[in-house]
Structures are given as structure tokens and as C-alpha cells.
């Protein structure tokens, strides 16, 4: 269906009536908030459950976890997911140039087909932050989301981030953005158990974060 594009005021009013949804892939982890028109539905993609989901839920977003581990639904819910969507429900072999506009933002840790699918389902003005390549370094997509919906694909730079910004991020992570479930998300192992822990990551069986006790 092709219709007359709504004016900015009407479009914002329409978006304001929608819920604020995040989608997050959970399979094995001082910025400004996005503009108002980008904050209605939001998409977060990760390989491993981490603190991001809790932060988003705390900000009032409705988080949907896209996962290959349906048995971890309770754990994902504890971290802030309102719904759990099985990864097998996606048909990544038939990704459309533009699919139903669902999400206003994304943090992608996978790359590959999932990132291509994500781009095709973004809402107008949506933003994707690509932060990893756990699935693939490749990205086979079209320009349609970028020239027809104004979607933005952003990169990250953790290697040369200025120290003042790093300190501000660390300060907030220790105060207002401090995760509420650190104990549940973290386990401590001695250095000698690292090979076994690596096997868990390779097999896709890891969960949460691991702290290595070098003195143990």
C-alpha cells in the first residue's frame, strides 16, 4: 500500500501510541538517548545476555529476547526480557529488502544474515549499532533500508575512545547504570579452568559473564 507520507507531528503522535519494544538475541554478553521518534520500538541483538538488557528494561522499554536457547526463558526474563522469541522462527534464507517495519534501534553482536534481517525490519529513522561479528564478518543486504527508511548503521570504537569519555562511562556503570543482577549474571573461575570455559563458548553453551581469578 502506498499512501501520503504523514507530517512530522502526525508521525510522532502515531509512534507515541506504540509500545517501546526491544528485541535482543541472547545465544551464548555516556551516550545520548535516540530522538523521540526512534524510541517507540527498539531492537537489541546480542550473543550473550548482559547488562544492556537490564538497562533497557530499566529505562521503560519492552524487551523481546531472540534466542536459540528457549530453555533459558526464565533467565532472560530476569535480565529484563518481557517476551522470548525462538531464533528458529526467523527465515534467514528469505530476507526481503524491506520487511515489516518493527524496530527503532538495534545493537548487533552477530553480523551476517541476522544483521541483514535486522536492517530490513527497522522502522523509519531507526539506528543499528554493529558491535560484533560472532556469526559472520559478511553483510549481504540492500540499500533499501538506508535510502527509503533513513536507517543508520553505526560502528563502534573501543580501542581509541578518549579517556575522559571512558571514565564517564565507567562512573555511570558504577552508579545509575549499575546492573541489578550482577551476581546472577557472573561466575568466578580459576585461571586453570579457562580452557573448559572456552569450550562452552565455542559450543554455544555459555551463559552470563565469567570473571577469572588469577590468584586462585
Query: pLDDT of 178-215, one tens digit each?
Result: 877 888 888 899 998 888 888 887 877 777 788 898 88
CA–CA separation, 104 vs 38, rounded Å?
A: 5
115-148: per-residue pLDDT in tens? 999 899 998 998 888 988 888 999 999 999 999 9
What gap in Å lies between CA 111 and CA 133, rounded to an integer? 5
Task: Give the span between the Cα atoms of 173 and 89, in whole angstroms.
Answer: 34
Q: What is the DSSP letter of 159?
A: S
Look at residue 142 in the predicted model and tell me its pLDDT: 96
Find the CATH number of the domain harbouring 75: 3.40.50.720
| 152, pLDDT greater than 50 | yes
146 and 65 both lie in a single domain: yes
Task: Indicate the residue among 109, 132, 154 that finishes a domain.
Answer: 154
Q: Is 197 helix (H, G, I), strand (E, B) or coil?
A: helix
Adjacent-strand bridge partners of 24: 65
Q: Are 91 and 190 members of one domain?
A: no
Domain-located, residue 162? no
pLDDT of residue 72: 82
15 in a domain, yes or no?
yes
Domain-embedded: residue 161: no
16's grid cell: 507515541
Q: Same domain for 172 and 145?
A: no
Residue 25: what pLDDT? 54
pLDDT of residue 27: 53
Q: Is 130 helix (H, G, I), strand (E, B) or coil?
A: strand
**Maximal C-alpha separation, the chain:** 66
- What is the structure's pLDDT at 11? 45
Note whether 76 and 35 are same-domain residues. Answer: yes
- Whether the CB-CB separation of 189 and 67 falls below 8 Å is answered with no
**What whole-number percentage of the chain has pLDDT above 90?**
22
Q: Which residue has the higher pLDDT, 104 or 167?
A: 167
Whether the pTM exceeds 0.85: the reply is no
Per-residue pLDDT at 141: 95
Please, are residues 105 and 82 in contact by the beta-carbon 8 Å criterion? no
At residue 26 the predicted structure's pLDDT band, cuts being 50, 70 and 90, is low
Helix (H) or strand (E) holding 165: helix 163-173
Number of domains in the chain: 2
Residue 70 and residue 128 share a domain:
yes
Q: What is the pLDDT of residue 129?
A: 84
One domain for residues 146 and 205: no
Nearest partner of 173 among 63, 50, 78, judged by Cα: 50
Whether residue 1 lies inside any domain: the answer is no
- Domain span including residue 122: 8-154
* Confidence at residue 8, expressed as pLDDT on a 0 to 100 scale: 44
Chain segment 37-78, per-residue pLDDT in tens? 343 444 433 334 455 666 666 677 677 777 777 888 888 888
Q: What's the rounded Cα separation, in Å, for the pair 40 and 105? A: 9
**Sign (positive or negative) of CA dihedral 26, 30, 31, 36:** positive
Q: Are 148 and 5 in contact (CB under 8 A)?
A: no
Amino acid at each position: 500500500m502506498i499512501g501520503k507520507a504523514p507530517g512530522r507531528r502526525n508521525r510522532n503522535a502515531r509512534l507515541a501510541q506504540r509500545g517501546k519494544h526491544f528485541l535482543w538475541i541472547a545465544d551464548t554478553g555516556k551516550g545520548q538517548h535516540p530522538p523521540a521518534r526512534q524510541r517507540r520500538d527498539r531492537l537489541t541483538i546480542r550473543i550473550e545476555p548482559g547488562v544492556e538488557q537490564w538497562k533497557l528494561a530499566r529505562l521503560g522499554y519492552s524487551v523481546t529476547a531472540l534466542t536459540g536457547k528457549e530453555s533459558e526463558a526464565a533467565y532472560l526474563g530476569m535480565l529484563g526480557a518481557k517476551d522470548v522469541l525462538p531464533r528458529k522462527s526467523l527465515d534467514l534464507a528469505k530476507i526481503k529488502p524491506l520487511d515489516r517495519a518493527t524496530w527503532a534501534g538495534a545493537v548487533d553482536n552477530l553480523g551476517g544474515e541476522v544483521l541483514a534481517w535486522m536492517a530490513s525490519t527497522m522502522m523509519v529513522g531507526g539506528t543499528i549499532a554493529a558491535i560484533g561479528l560472532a556469526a559472520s564478518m559478511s553483510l549481504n543486504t540492500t540499500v533499501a533500508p538506508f535510502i527509503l527508511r533513513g536507517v543508520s548503521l553505526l560502528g563502534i570504537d573501543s580501542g581509541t575512545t578518549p579517556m575522559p569519555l571512558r571514565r564517564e562511562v565507567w562512573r555511570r556503570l558504577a552508579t545509575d547504570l549499575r546492573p541489578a543482577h550482577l551476581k546472577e549474571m557472573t561466575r568466578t573461575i580459576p585461571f586453570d579452568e579457562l580452557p573448559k570455559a572456552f569450550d562452552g563458548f565455542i559450543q554455544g553453551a555459555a551463559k552470563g559473564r565469567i570473571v577469572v581469578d588469577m590468584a586462585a
